[in-house]
Structure 1
Amino acid sequence: MIRPLPSVAALSPYPMADPAPPGSIALSQNESAFPPSPAVAEALRRAAEGAELYPDTDWTALRAALGAAHGLDPARLLCGAGSMELIGALIRAFAGPDDEVLAPAQGYIFVATAAAQAGARYVTAPERDFRVDIAALLAAVTPATRIVFLCNPGNPTGTAIANAEIVGFRERLAGDVLLVIDQAYGEFDGQDAAPLFRLVERGDTVVIRTLSKAYGLAGARVGWGLFPPEIAEEVRKLISPGNVAATSQAMAVAALADQAYMRRTVAVTAARRGRFAAGLRALGLTPPESRTNFVLIPFADPETAAAADRALKAAGLILRSMRGYGLGHCLRATIGPEPAMERTLAVIAEVLRGRNVDGPGVR
């Protein structure tokens, strides 16, 4: 029998969302409720005509478009097949056995998987009311800490802390600790990212973003990051040449050129998110304030969350269970089509009414 390495055999598979059966609506993957800019389809058609050629391994046009959109030097950018590729490469490059990767307790769970792949120890610090607690993170730093990973706004909580807090946190970290700031939902946050981008100039900080969310390109797999040159040099050794398909690069360039469309997508999503969260509060639930394209739904207990999950599935609505994040009493709902959000509220209301009569529920 061919056996894997013990470190691989010990890994748990990355927890995926439940598959959406035919005819159901998936509100589990934090995908955009809207297609990308209309310009993307034409860019894809043109790029497909050259599909026999390898993609640009330096992402020249894509980096130029990203630099123009964010006021950044394209030479300081790296692109990945989604931000997950860059996250994994960063951890493999700078953490290994006997090292620790530190994150908030409800941090992006792929970081734990990537740390395990590198043989590093994944360590968490408690959060306060579903929000990052900077004091707790600082208290959790040890001599073994090599990377601190901070997702802001957070996934799965949706909450955000002020960028000024992150800047202050970086100033209190030792210079040999790499701070990785994941801004996958940065476009929904509304904060000026410039202070975080400036941290990269220190040489000990990386900012990661993606075009999967606000730009509606989850299927194209395009992530990017702003890197200090010395860190970028090491990360490039661990990402595949030609990692972002030519078609994906062309689609991303077209999407970035239509900033007005992206901003409308964000505004409509935020308004829909606000109505959905208000509906949850009217039912007696207390979702934390979200600055993303999803809402975390805390129930009174895991049993009520499980009952809601079953009822939603029966209604053809697939949300994300948060058991894998240690939040068994929560579900996460991506902001999707308006009728789907209204139906989700109606099903949850039915479940809560039933449990208030027949068993424990919200009080």
Structure 2
Amino acid sequence: MVAELPRYSRAAGLSQVRWRASSNESTVPPSPSVQQALIEAAAHAHLYPSLQGDLLTADLSARLQVSPEHIVVGGGSLALLQHALAAYTGAGTEVVHAWRSYEAYPILIGVVGATAVPVSLDATHTHDVDAMLAAITWATRAIIVCNPNNPTGTELPRSEIERLVTSVPANVLVLFDEAYQEFATADVDGLSLVRRYPNVVVFRTFSKAYGLAGLRAGYMIAHPEVADNVRAAAPPFGLSLLAEAGARAAWADTTHTKHIVDVVREGRGYLRHEAAERGLETPVSGANFVWFPVGPLTAQLQEACVAQRVSVRAFDGEGVRVTVGDRDAEDAVLAAIDSLQWNFSPQG
């Protein structure tokens, strides 16, 4: 079974480039307060962290105004998603998800022995709610919604989110991956849904808007019974001592988080505008990247970017995803587009 699992892709040319715009990392380093918290925590690295990230859970609970029983923290939102799938799916069950969406989903689903049911995005590169609902069968135990979606950056309107949640059977978990929620242009906040629907689960991360991709920290918000089952499926000490210290400091430093978000919003606006000036239209992005739907010319654009010393993430035959936040990297991507001499046409 393991041999049949899809593999997580790598960006091309990483050893040749100056700028890395392929991994959706923050281009802004952690704030001095986060760095100091990590130094202080490192002095206690000989000790185990708290069993379930208790201090971070308390911080999250206070600001989000949900009880600690609703919150599970761990080594990134992706790890928490895998624990949720392990707790509620498995052999003989199905998990519905959009495609193209985050490429880790079919891997995680396969690891727990469930069957992935991919559903194509619509013509606007957005989740097709009707098609996803139609894909639900008696074997479906979960449906994953990446909002904003990776790699297209598109957001589901609030009305469509509500329609999806209210149409899904009560025994099917609706798993909202909100890794890019802080950058969204629309009303992307599944927390209110958790309060109303016991089958809704929200996943968020400290890797993007908090600039801590290297530490691996995330959290999940769910009905207490669901949260308790996910904790049971997760190994103890899942959040490292350093990750908890860094996440707590980043959570407290709201000014720095706003700075990261502002840098991203400025960068994606600039890149989308300049691409449009060159004839390449891109979907509105609610994330820290821009999606270039260039279809069969994907490999050509990726090669041109590497030639300009910037890495991007290419999805063969579909498009290229470019992380924003570094103006030099954005300009290198634009130089790559210019080097193609209009030898492309945007794909719908």
TM-score (ref. length: structure 1): 0.90
Q: Whole-Å Cα distance in 2 between the matches of residues 294 and 194 of structure 1?
A: 19
| In the alignment, structure 1 residue 343 sits paired with structure 2 residue 337 | no
Deviation, structure 1 residue 157 = 0.6
| In the alignment, structure 1 residue 63 sits paired with structure 2 residue 57 | yes
Matches within 5 A, 1:13-162: 13-18=7-12, 20-21=14-15, 24-128=18-122, 129-162=124-157
Aligned partner of residue 219 in structure 1, secondary structure: coil
Q: 1:194 to 1:334 in 2, by over 3 A?
A: closer
Offset from partner CA, 1:184-219 (integer Å, 9 cap, x none): 000011445556434355321110000100000000
2:268 and 2:288 in contact (8 A); partners too: yes
C-alpha RMSD over aligned residues: 1.8
Aligned partner of residue 352 in structure 1, secondary structure: coil
Deviation, structure 1 residue 65 = 1.7
Q: 1:64 to 1:362 in 2, by over 3 A?
A: closer
The correspondence for 2:320, drawn from 319, 331, 336, is 331
Q: Whole-Å Cα distance in 2 between the matches of residues 362 and 212 of structure 1?
A: 31
1:99 and 1:120 in contact (8 A); partners too: yes
2:298 and 2:315 in contact (8 A); partners too: no
Q: Whole-Å Cα distance in 2 between the matches of residues 362 and 56 of structure 1?
A: 50
Aligned partner of residue 266 in structure 2, secondary structure: helix
Count of matched residue pairs: 346
| Letter of the 1:322 counterpart | F
Q: Whole-Å Cα distance in 2 between the matches of residues 194 and 306 of structure 1?
A: 35
Q: Whole-Å Cα distance in 2 between the matches of residues 121 and 104 of structure 1?
A: 14
Counterpart for residue 4 of structure 1 = none
Counterpart for residue 3 of structure 1 = none
Q: Whole-Å Cα distance in 2 between the matches of residues 15 and 285 of structure 1?
A: 25
Q: Whole-Å Cα distance in 1 between the matches of residues 209 and 131 of structure 2?
A: 31
Offset from partner CA, 1:246-296 (integer Å, 9 cap, x none): 111011000000112211210221011101001111111111110000001
The correspondence for 2:300, drawn from 303, 307, 325, is 307
The correspondence for 1:223, drawn from 214, 218, 222, is 218
Q: Whole-Å Cα distance in 2 between the matches of residues 285 and 190 of structure 1?
A: 21
Offset from partner CA, 1:53-97 (integer Å, 9 cap, x none): 000112121112222332322331101111111111111211112
Q: Whole-Å Cα distance in 1 between the matches of residues 163 and 127 of structure 2?
A: 14
1:167 and 1:196 in contact (8 A); partners too: no
Deviation, structure 1 residue 153 = 0.5
Aligned partner of residue 165 in structure 1, secondary structure: helix
Deviation, structure 1 residue 27 = 0.5
Q: Whole-Å Cα distance in 1 between the matches of residues 190 and 112 of structure 2?
A: 30
Offset from partner CA, 1:27-61 (integer Å, 9 cap, x none): 10000111122210110111111111000112121
Deviation, structure 1 residue 22 = 5.7
Identity %: 34
Aligned partner of residue 233 in structure 2, secondary structure: coil
Deviation, structure 1 residue 17 = 3.2
| In the alignment, structure 1 residue 321 sits paired with structure 2 residue 310 | no
| In the alignment, structure 1 residue 186 sits paired with structure 2 residue 181 | yes
Q: Whole-Å Cα distance in 2 between the matches of residues 13 and 333 of structure 1?
A: 21
TM-score (ref. length: structure 2): 0.94
Offset from partner CA, 1:280-318 (integer Å, 9 cap, x none): 11111111110000001122x42x221221121122111
Counterpart for residue 290 of structure 1 = 285
| Letter of the 2:171 counterpart | D
| Letter of the 1:343 counterpart | A
Counterpart for residue 270 of structure 2 = 275
Aligned partner of residue 125 in structure 1, secondary structure: strand
Q: Whole-Å Cα distance in 1 between the matches of residues 315 and 254 of structure 2?
A: 33
Offset from partner CA, 1:317-350 (integer Å, 9 cap, x none): 1100112xxxx14111000311111121012111
Moved over 6 A (4+): none
Q: Whole-Å Cα distance in 2 between the matches of residues 215 and 312 of structure 1?
A: 27
Aligned partner of residue 268 in structure 2, secondary structure: helix
| Letter of the 1:27 counterpart | A
Q: Whole-Å Cα distance in 1 between the matches of residues 200 and 117 of structure 2?
A: 19
